A = this chain, B = another copy of it.
């Protein structure tokens, strides 16, 4: 690195705290969070390692935004409004200040998009790969948030957006899948590099009391839904024909119907919102989908029992050989 820690912070990171007075321009040992007395602060933390959670060849600005967005997705899955984050960067000699400038430009652009401020953090040297940890903060009405343990038999299972795009995007980048159509290729890679956290959906689901039970899909639909069913001591049935898939993904998978389904439910890194809701809320959720211009699909239902089953159109169970991404 061609700059010292102090220069990096002053030149690139401190400006990102502007407008948040109690971050003290990142010059104090710590920052203050003073949320409205009727609110609680929501806290989540995710670490991303080069070569594990992103590729070091990805554009620096996209890496920055991915680090923010995977955290924002957790904030959304609590029904919270995000407002601030701290960021720690362990960097090695492969990076120079130009890279850091692109990285902080990426942060800046997403700060504007999601109304965030950087309020603290750390920069350290490492002999290892670039490692970035973000702790992200949101607010909810005091003591209110979604949980994983509150799903009830009879409820519908819903998911936002499309599944599998991001998993396919990674396989394209690593050369496991070949795509000739340039526009599909770009679309799927973009979905891998740039998750779209569903902030407005999370907040609206909480405000309108349409659900108590939500999480984001990061390890793959099956793995994540099983967290909900295990925590809630219920089972879930998913309908293969209802899985929301993009045109790009569907086209890529022509002739590979089973692989398509498998990647859609195990690919991971989707960062879509998964939630359960009483049947009585179907119309309201459809209305919300229209208002937000966001696909929200009813993909299954919660039942008595244990486990998650995926059912083919003919009523047979789809057998999955993988069980979601393991990052470790």
Query: A111 in the interface, Cβ–Cβ < 8 Å?
Result: no
In chain A, positions 73-88 with a C-beta closer than 8 Å to chain B are 74-75, 77-78, 80, 86-88
In the complex, which residue of chain B has the Cβ closest to the Cβ of A23?
Answer: B43
Q: Is B49 a contact of A41 with CB atoms below 8 Å?
A: no
Query: A215 in the interface, Cβ–Cβ < 8 Å?
Result: yes
A78 / chain B contacts, CB cutoff of 8 Å = 28-30
In the complex, which residue of chain B has the Cβ closest to the Cβ of A24?
Answer: B147
A231 / chain B contacts, CB cutoff of 8 Å = 27
- Partner-binding segment picked from A32-40, A158-166, A174-182, A243-251: A32-40
Bitwise, A34-56 to B at CB < 8 A (1) or not (0) is 11011011111111110111000
Query: A282 in the interface, Cβ–Cβ < 8 Å?
Result: no
Q: Is A143 a contact of B34 with CB atoms below 8 Å?
A: yes
Bitwise, A273-305 to B at CB < 8 A (1) or not (0) is 000000000000000000000000000000000
Cβ of A282 to closest chain B Cβ, rounded Å: 25
In the complex, which residue of chain B has the Cβ closest to the Cβ of A44?
Answer: B30
Given contacts A30-B80, A78-B29, contact A128 B131 (CB under 8 A): yes
A125 / chain B contacts, CB cutoff of 8 Å = 49, 52, 327-328
Query: A207 in the interface, Cβ–Cβ < 8 Å?
Result: no
Compute how far the CA of A27 lies from the CA of B147 in the bound complex, rounded to whole angstroms. Answer: 8
Cβ of A187 to closest chain B Cβ, rounded Å: 27
Compute how far the CA of A128 lies from the CA of B121 in the bound complex, rounded to whole angstroms. Answer: 21
A128 / chain B contacts, CB cutoff of 8 Å = 49, 126-129, 131
Given contacts A29-B44, A44-B30, contact A326 B124 (CB under 8 A): no
A88 / chain B contacts, CB cutoff of 8 Å = 45-47, 133
Cβ of A278 to closest chain B Cβ, rounded Å: 21
16 contacts between A and B (CB under 8 A): A4-B326, A5-B326, A5-B327, A29-B215, A30-B75, A31-B42, A31-B44, A34-B41, A44-B120, A47-B122, A49-B90, A51-B127, A52-B124, A86-B135, A124-B328, A126-B129
